[in-house]
Structure 1
Amino acid sequence: MDYMDSGLRYTPNSDKDWDTSVQFLPASDHKKLEKKKGPGRVGAVIGVVIFAAVIALMTGLLVWHFHFRKDVRVKKMYSGSMRITNQVFEDAYENSNSSEFKALAKQVTSQLKAIYSRSPQLAKYYVGSTIQAFSEGSVIAYYLSEFRVPVGQEAAVDNAMSSMERLVDKEQRTLHRPGNSLVLADVVSSALDARLFSSSFSRMFKFSEHTKTNHIGQIQSPGFPDRPYSPNTFLQWQLRADPNHVIKLEFDTVNLEEDCKNDFVKIYDSLVAIESRVMEEMCGYYSPSEPLTFLSSGNVMLVTMATNNKKNYPGFRAKVSQVRRGSQGTTCGGQLMGEKGTFSSPNFPNYYPPRTSCQWSIEVPAGKAVKVSFKKFLMSEPGQENGKDCRKDYVEVNGKKLCGEHPDGAVTETSKTNTMSVVFSSDASYVDRGFSAEFEAIDVKDPCPKQFQCKNQRCIKSELRCDGWNDCGDMSDELNCKCSSDSISCKNGLCKPMFWRCDSIDDCGDGTDELNCGVCKSGEMTCKNNKCVSEKKRCDGRDDCGDGSDELDCERASGTTCTDLTYRCKNNKCISKVNPECDGTQDCDDGSDEENCDCGRSMFKTSRIVGGQDAEEGEFPWQVSLHVKGYGHVCGASIISPRWLVTAAHCVQEDGKTSFSQPGTWEAYLGLHTQRKIGSAVVKRNLKQIIPHPNYNTFTYDNDIALMELDSPVTYSDYIKPVCLPSPQHDFPTGNTVWITGWGATREGGFAATVLQKAQVRIINRSVCNDLMGGQITSRMLCAGVLTGGVDACQGDSGGPLSSPSGNRMFLAGVVSWGDGCARRNKPGIYTTVTKFRGWVKEKTGV
């Protein structure tokens, strides 16, 4: 019987051994129950009643203790593998129905029983084992073992199983072993993921695929792509390659439920689900542009999929092929010589294989030193996300271990001689994309000519020193600085951009930038109008602030008084909750706060490109590229409905040469990612009408917003979706992180970007921003500054979106208007505040 195929159902042995942890209750002292003179008949009756009650209670306790408590057992499953060194692999071992398979499987299960018998903790709870598969090397056996463990004893059994190798060694050294006993080595064992043997599974499927040279196979979830995968189902695909080959698994689609607790795919570097051999766990929706290619360490791989009873999605599809060991992508290391060169982890930019180790020996001309810069560094896995404790996957440079995730170019190492050793090592579990690096020969005496050398050996432009930005990555360019007049002088010696003052975030690290901000005293709250009131007056039902902000986010059954800050439902009742719209909870009695919520969500998982500015395809599906016909990209816009776009009014102003205000001048590209690359996901539309705001001021950029109607509605897809429009009361607090996107110039005076760019920015205090911008900020403008920008970064584009995350959706906080059109450092960007125009947008578009 196969555990997986049978739903892992086994009945425990009916042994009658008492649990050694059970304690018997002490017998009662009979002398205390002897009749004594004095109480009389009533006393005797009371005594008999008490005696009977005590006996009944003790009987109940004993029955519970020895009957019910003993039967409370949990199923524990362990998976593992072991190498049989005195056997040679036969092709028949691939077929679980062959007599050869069954004979060897019987021998392995018998020996497993003997191994478990060496541990008293395991022997009494052991139910049985099944052999899942065999593979080459001499012969590797993959097994599942079941135990029925009393509640409270699980940890003891886990501990006993962790010493499986010692138990095997004990069994192997037994003097009276039969002559045909198997010789075992390389024993691996771990508790099976409980989700893989859930009692809720109604169906279980097992598939096998043996790849061949020059053949590409395919595996996919049942029904893909025509119908969603089935609920409450467990599936597994055992993949094999020929000897001296490894398996290449390449996903072209992964579209599952977002939460891995519900539906997931797990990949193992094994033929059974051994947790210490898991390579990756996936759920959610991955962009087709994101490489999802895995290599096994040997010639086997297991793909598992588990689904629950709700929300079924299209599933996955992947190509399966074999690659000869030693070919490109499977190897790494070697001798590198010369003035400069590049190298990377195996299979980069795809996932490197597990259980891999290699070394590069780098040599540059005599008299020079070696400098290695890591352009990409993605070596994170569960247990070492912070990159400090490199006990798992790592890169070692001159004895120093590196791991985790690091921004592009932030990791640099320099040698003291003309040689350097770089070692790459991956353990048996969880893989990542790895690294790409370049080496160059440098002058030991002047490693950064005409530049500033960071403490981490990185070279940056001299003018970036003491400008408030951490360009080095280790803050060394911002230490011991004399701050300019337009910067904040932190007490700890750091300089910070003035527009980070009073944004409720301690940028200095010592609170200097948040001093003298009009913040209220301890025990007081700051109202939206900057008035201070006692914390005790918050949510007391009275408007103590004068603008109602002390009565926001209050839990009360009765209705809330409507103010400019409260959310108004469709039935004209108001609620005090801040930003209730589309948060997944119905707060309005009429449910209007959860209407029209198919917006602001990217179908794909968030990109993991660290420090890069390229957006992933489909990451901002509301982004539009506005082209002037015959010219190309000029402005950005945002989708708010199948027919309407929002952009900036200054984009559609006449300039004497081009009629920008005329719909016939423009064409809109929706779903575009790379300029001049019009793929199947891209939709082109002409415009029917353009409606600039009637009060737009061409000199001050006040009311800088316009609407565009498409000549025909678009159908939403993974790459074309609307952004959520905020209610007039939606709050975008100072200090909040938001995103700007566009194809703007990549440097001041430079050319437009080819690939859609993204940058994280932070909303800036309005009064601080107004001071910085010479009093030009109106109430209809919002300021935001670049947090991570490089000196050449020119993220954003006129008319494009300022996208603000709220829950798992994005709201249109602003429209790119003016200011740092090319991201000049220490100058915030100015955006049109969309909340101020919500009524106008609805009046003109109905959205």
Structure 2
Amino acid sequence: MKSFDAGLMYNPKTEKMNGFEEEVEFLPAMNAKKVEKRGLKSKLCIAAVVIGTLLVSLTISLLVWHFTFRNVKTEKIFTGYLRVTNVKFMDAYENSSSPEFLILANKVKDVLKMTYQSNPAIWPHFRQADVTAFSEGSVIAYYWVEFGVPKYLEEDFDKGMASLKAIPQDVKVRKNILIVDSIKTYPVDLRMLKDPKDNTCKFGVHAKVGTKTTFSTPGFPNSPYPPNTNCQWILRADIDHVISLSFRTFHLEQCQVKDNDYVKIYDSLSPAEPRAIVSLCGSYPSSYNLTFLSSQNVMLVSLVTNGVGRHPGFMAEFIQLPKKTPICGGTFKEVNGNISSPYYPGHYPPDFDCTWDIQVPNNKNVKVRFNFFYLVEPGTALGSCTKDYVEVNGQRYCGTRSQFVVSSSNSKISVRFHSDKSYTDTGFLAEYLSYEPNNPCPEQFTCKSGRCIKKDLQCDGWNDCGDFSDELGCNCTADQFRCKASQLCKPRYWKCDGVNDCGDESDELECQCPALTYKCGNGKCIPEAQKCDKINQCGDGTDESDCGPVVPVNCLSYTYKCSNNQCINKLNPECDGEPDCTDGSDEASCSCGMRPFSRKTRIVGGTNADVGEWPWQVSLHTKAEGHTCGASVVSETWLVSAAHCFQNDGPRRYSDPSLWTAYLGLHDQAQRSSSEVRKIKRIIAHRSFNDYTYDHDIAVLELESPVQYTNVIQPICLPDPTHYFPVGKSFWVTGWGALKEGGSGAVVLQKAEIRLINQTECNRVMDNQLTARMMCAGFLSGGIDACQGDSGGPLSSVDLNSSKMYLAGVVSWGDGCARRNKPGIYTRVTMLRDWIKQHTGL
């Protein structure tokens, strides 16, 4: 047989032909069609090779899939606690490095391992467990445990963990060292996990009897807290005590940032979500109540940070309080009295119950008026009072509620408070009142709920009772319209303002434009074909805004002009986070309108503002009269106020800058020493100001020296002349003016929310006294308004696109204060924006 190259893909064969032997070579065919013979055996061999190759490939693919994908393990980490009943707590257990701690921790880990071994869906995936802390009760052990679970077994594993509610009986028999009566296990957010062996930012603090114990973030106040870390403070009190924790300073990263820094407090020593009391981020003023109570003698404070930003952190203090002190509930037999949630105004503790049994004289009836009510728990559906609630007469109340009254038809009433084991809130403040059954509200209107209101509030279009009973069966006046579904009367100027005031849209349905037409921002209807045709048919430019991609257009009165004098077709483009101008100027001056302390008026009908909530608010004082007018910070050196504040009155030379002093960052007029004080360098009042009509009522004030921005001093944004404020939009008016017409001024800064009123409707009720430089805001029903002393202060508006606050108006004038059909009149800043720029360069 001849020898052939090893590289040829065939074998030489020998065959017999015609009765004699002949050596025949079968050469490889280069073209399959030229092969003369191919027997069945050959075909079977080829098929076998192909099938074998496919099977090998399939096997390899399955193995690759199994080890690369199907067998990929998901990391699952749990935290929890268990109770050991046959061990007595000792002080050494507070030190995680003590021999006593380590011995007991190892025993607890053995119990955990055997517990997981008893469940075949759990044990194969166990990696490690560790004990992080102990506390009294007899001993509660806090732990975390890690598993690695293949994805295809996750469902079985999760079911096994969900069924793990107690230590199996055979574990107790096999390991009769620790007696454990319960075990709690919860999934944990990986950001909350801290290696128990990492003590770089872990602290244990025990309360001292009769004194406050202080702690703070690392480096506070001289340096920011560290990035990318998880710091933990284990707080302890003596047995039979609870912890009261208060933050005195709190400055963290703002909550809107993705994966923002936050502090979480637990009514436990493990970071278990069902035992979380509160989660905090952002900044809070020192006046804001940040006091939290535990239900037992331990509390865990955890700070989780990312790698972005540098922030001061917090300073906190805590004390221990006797657990058995009666702090709520009991029997009350006085004619009137007050009740509140436990530890009010601090946050009530978790896992708490108390009941007030109220008995007034038998010839009286009793009602409870809740003046303050905050029982909000994250993740609870609206109206579902299954966690924290107050129960009166079998009815549960929760969430956030304005003032409301619950009445009894006899002399007894029972109020029950309940909080579950997780998130807490500020609680409630209430008073109980006895009243004559036949005359519950002398000289007042009696609401169905039993609440008493002034008679002139009946049928005014406002739900003053809270249950609408003051607005039922009313005859609508000429200044009102009737909603279709509810039949309630509402102020006429609410029609066609873009707000669903009736609830059934009936106040807006009649305002719809006919088919194939477009409704302008001012209510005018134009043919649909005229929208975005580069012609301002609406008159307010709304038909030429929102016309697809932002593009340069001809400069008109309603178009936004960039710094390079290019105009664009976008409504309110400034500071919305999207550079629309080719030179980026619409996003260039946006360090304004931010409220570091924003939360949840000589303002009549207003409420106290928080410290730093309105950081652009300024109090202007004269030497002889003290607080006289308000103003707004718009830059380090400029304020905006009202021209009428600086008009001379006989011998009083209000136009003289030396007469005035500006207090910036002020909250309480009785504590002016805590604010920044600046003298006024010059006053520029609008030359066209008319002291009879109050037209062009605006002025700018230059400070003698620049002011440095802080958490309580910030500039408000000045709107572009084209900035659009729609009718019905909410504004905030702030100031220290009179609390009622003819009354004295406020000591603490006041705030009130009002709405922009249709210019035509407002002009009607104000006897056509409005000009184009004025805007009307408030309520025609009265009750909330600016007053003497608020003049020159800001009318602030939040832009929903950028969350920044804009100076929409300046408090100017009004007919009295908070009168019916006499809303407040404000200087329209957009109409005078160019004048402000001319004199300040802003």
TM > 0.5: yes
Q: Structure 2: any 5+ residue segments left out of the alignment? A: 1-36
The answer as to whether partners of 1:277 and 1:430 remain within 8 angstroms in 2 is yes
After superposing the two structures, state which structure 1 stretch, 435-444 or 706-715, moved more: 706-715
Match of residue 810, structure 2, among 808, 815, 818: 815
Deviation at 1:44, TM superposition (A): 9.7
Map of 1:16-165 to 2, 5 A cutoff? 54-55=54-55, 58-59=58-59, 61-151=61-151, 153-154=153-154, 156-165=156-165
Q: Secondary structure at the match of 1:378?
A: strand
The answer as to whether partners of 2:476 and 2:482 remain within 8 angstroms in 1 is yes
The answer as to whether partners of 2:628 and 2:789 remain within 8 angstroms in 1 is no
Give the corresponding residue for 1:222: 218
The answer as to whether partners of 1:760 and 1:788 remain within 8 angstroms in 2 is no
Structure 1 204/47 Cα, relative in aligned 2: closer, same or farther at 3 Å? Answer: farther
1:496 lines up with 2:490 in the alignment? yes
Distance across 1 between alignment mates of 2:524 and 2:319 = 68
Match of residue 715, structure 2, among 714, 719, 722: 722
Structure 1 282/152 Cα, relative in aligned 2: closer, same or farther at 3 Å? Answer: farther
Structure 1 500/821 Cα, relative in aligned 2: closer, same or farther at 3 Å? Answer: farther
Write the deviation string for residues 430-473 of structure 1: whole angstroms up to 9, x where unpaired: 11111111112111222222211212221111111000111111
The answer as to whether partners of 1:502 and 1:513 remain within 8 angstroms in 2 is yes
1:376 lines up with 2:372 in the alignment? yes
Q: Secondary structure at the match of 1:477?
A: coil
Counterpart amino acid of 1:183? I
Distance across 2 between alignment mates of 1:40 and 1:778 = 105
Structure 1 175/92 Cα, relative in aligned 2: closer, same or farther at 3 Å? Answer: closer
Distance across 2 between alignment mates of 1:673 and 1:279 = 30
Give the corresponding residue for 1:569: 562
The answer as to whether partners of 1:501 and 1:765 remain within 8 angstroms in 2 is no
Give the corresponding residue for 1:314: 312
Distance across 1 between alignment mates of 2:78 and 2:815 = 59
Write the deviation string for residues 671-700 of structure 1: whole angstroms up to 9, x where unpaired: 1112232142x1222222221111112222
Write the deviation string for residues 530-558 of structure 1: whole angstroms up to 9, x where unpaired: 55445466456676767753332334375
Map of 1:533-682 to 2, 5 A cutoff? 533-535=526-528, 538-539=531-532, 549-556=542-549, 558-607=551-600, 613-680=607-674, 682=675
Structure 1 707/150 Cα, relative in aligned 2: closer, same or farther at 3 Å? Answer: same
1:245 lines up with 2:241 in the alignment? yes
Distance across 2 between alignment mates of 1:392 and 1:797 = 43
Distance across 2 between alignment mates of 1:541 and 1:600 = 32
Structure 1 794/658 Cα, relative in aligned 2: closer, same or farther at 3 Å? Answer: closer
Alignment identity in percent?
49
Match of residue 706, structure 1, among 686, 692, 699: 699
Give the corresponding residue for 1:771: 764
Distance across 1 between alignment mates of 2:49 and 2:828 = 80
Counterpart amino acid of 1:101? F
Q: Secondary structure at the match of 1:456?
A: coil
Q: CA RMSD in A?
A: 2.9
Deviation at 1:627, TM superposition (A): 1.9
Structure 1 133/41 Cα, relative in aligned 2: closer, same or farther at 3 Å? Answer: same
Counterpart amino acid of 1:822? C
Distance across 2 between alignment mates of 1:636 and 1:707 = 12
Deviation at 1:515, TM superposition (A): 5.7
Distance across 2 between alignment mates of 1:160 and 1:481 = 62
Deviation at 1:353, TM superposition (A): 1.1
Counterpart amino acid of 1:99? P
The answer as to whether partners of 2:606 and 2:750 remain within 8 angstroms in 1 is no
Distance across 2 between alignment mates of 1:51 and 1:473 = 80
Match of residue 301, structure 2, among 300, 303, 315: 303
After superposing the two structures, state which structure 1 stretch, 263-272 or 591-600, moved more: 591-600
Give the corresponding residue for 2:282: 284
The answer as to whether partners of 1:380 and 1:405 remain within 8 angstroms in 2 is yes
Structure 1 648/250 Cα, relative in aligned 2: closer, same or farther at 3 Å? Answer: same
After superposing the two structures, state which structure 1 stretch, 557-566 or 40-49, moved more: 40-49
Distance across 2 between alignment mates of 1:48 and 1:844 = 94
Counterpart amino acid of 2:292? F
The answer as to whether partners of 1:747 and 1:792 remain within 8 angstroms in 2 is no
The answer as to whether partners of 1:759 and 1:788 remain within 8 angstroms in 2 is no
Counterpart amino acid of 1:279? I
Q: Structure 1: any 5+ residue segments left out of the alignment? A: 1-36
Higher alpha-carbon Rg? 2
Distance across 2 between alignment mates of 1:93 and 1:588 = 64
Structure 1 236/821 Cα, relative in aligned 2: closer, same or farther at 3 Å? Answer: farther
Write the deviation string for residues 115-162 of structure 1: whole angstroms up to 9, x where unpaired: 222333222222221111111111111111111122365455444333
Q: Secondary structure at the match of 2:122?
A: helix
Structure 1 515/240 Cα, relative in aligned 2: closer, same or farther at 3 Å? Answer: closer
Distance across 2 between alignment mates of 1:219 and 1:524 = 65
Distance across 2 between alignment mates of 1:63 and 1:743 = 76
1:205 lines up with 2:198 in the alignment? no
Q: Secondary structure at the match of 1:677?
A: helix
Give the corresponding residue for 1:736: 729
Q: Secondary structure at the match of 1:815?
A: strand
Write the deviation string for residues 142-197 of structure 1: whole angstroms up to 9, x where unpaired: 111111122365455444333322x42xx1366843432x2223432211123223
Give the corresponding residue for 2:499: 505
The answer as to whether partners of 2:115 and 2:171 remain within 8 angstroms in 1 is no
Give the corresponding residue for 1:840: 835
Deviation at 1:53, TM superposition (A): 8.2
Give the corresponding residue for 2:335: 339
Structure 1 747/42 Cα, relative in aligned 2: closer, same or farther at 3 Å? Answer: farther
Match of residue 235, structure 1, among 225, 231, 238: 231
Distance across 1 between alignment mates of 2:176 and 2:87 = 13
Counterpart amino acid of 2:401? H
The answer as to whether partners of 1:797 and 1:821 remain within 8 angstroms in 2 is no
After superposing the two structures, state which structure 1 stretch, 731-740 or 154-163, moved more: 154-163
After superposing the two structures, state which structure 1 stretch, 735-744 or 54-63, moved more: 54-63
Distance across 2 between alignment mates of 1:56 and 1:802 = 78
Give the corresponding residue for 2:4: none
Distance across 2 between alignment mates of 1:81 and 1:790 = 54
Structure 1 555/489 Cα, relative in aligned 2: closer, same or farther at 3 Å? Answer: closer
After superposing the two structures, state which structure 1 stretch, 548-557 or 470-479, moved more: 548-557
Write the deviation string for residues 763-797 of structure 1: whole angstroms up to 9, x where unpaired: 12222222222222222111222499747986982
Distance across 1 between alignment mates of 2:40 and 2:789 = 98
Distance across 2 between alignment mates of 1:252 and 1:477 = 43
1:350 lines up with 2:343 in the alignment? no
Structure 1 232/273 Cα, relative in aligned 2: closer, same or farther at 3 Å? Answer: same
The answer as to whether partners of 1:239 and 1:301 remain within 8 angstroms in 2 is yes
Write the deviation string for residues 45-98 of structure 1: whole angstroms up to 9, x where unpaired: 997998588547634541343111233222111111111111111222122222
Distance across 1 between alignment mates of 2:40 and 2:532 = 67
Deviation at 1:241, TM superposition (A): 1.1
The answer as to whether partners of 1:760 and 1:786 remain within 8 angstroms in 2 is no
Structure 1 551/207 Cα, relative in aligned 2: closer, same or farther at 3 Å? Answer: same
After superposing the two structures, state which structure 1 stretch, 652-661 or 701-710, moved more: 652-661
Distance across 1 between alignment mates of 2:473 and 2:366 = 28
Give the corresponding residue for 1:266: 264
The answer as to whether partners of 2:241 and 2:323 remain within 8 angstroms in 1 is yes
Give the corresponding residue for 2:7: none
Map of 1:391-540 to 2, 5 A cutoff? 391-407=386-402, 410-491=403-484, 492-514=486-508, 517=511, 519-528=512-521, 532-535=525-528, 538-539=531-532
Distance across 1 between alignment mates of 2:60 and 2:559 = 60
Distance across 2 between alignment mates of 1:414 and 1:750 = 34
Deviation at 1:810, TM superposition (A): 0.3
After superposing the two structures, state which structure 1 stretch, 742-751 or 288-297, moved more: 742-751
State the number of aligned residues.
796
Q: Secondary structure at the match of 1:836?
A: helix
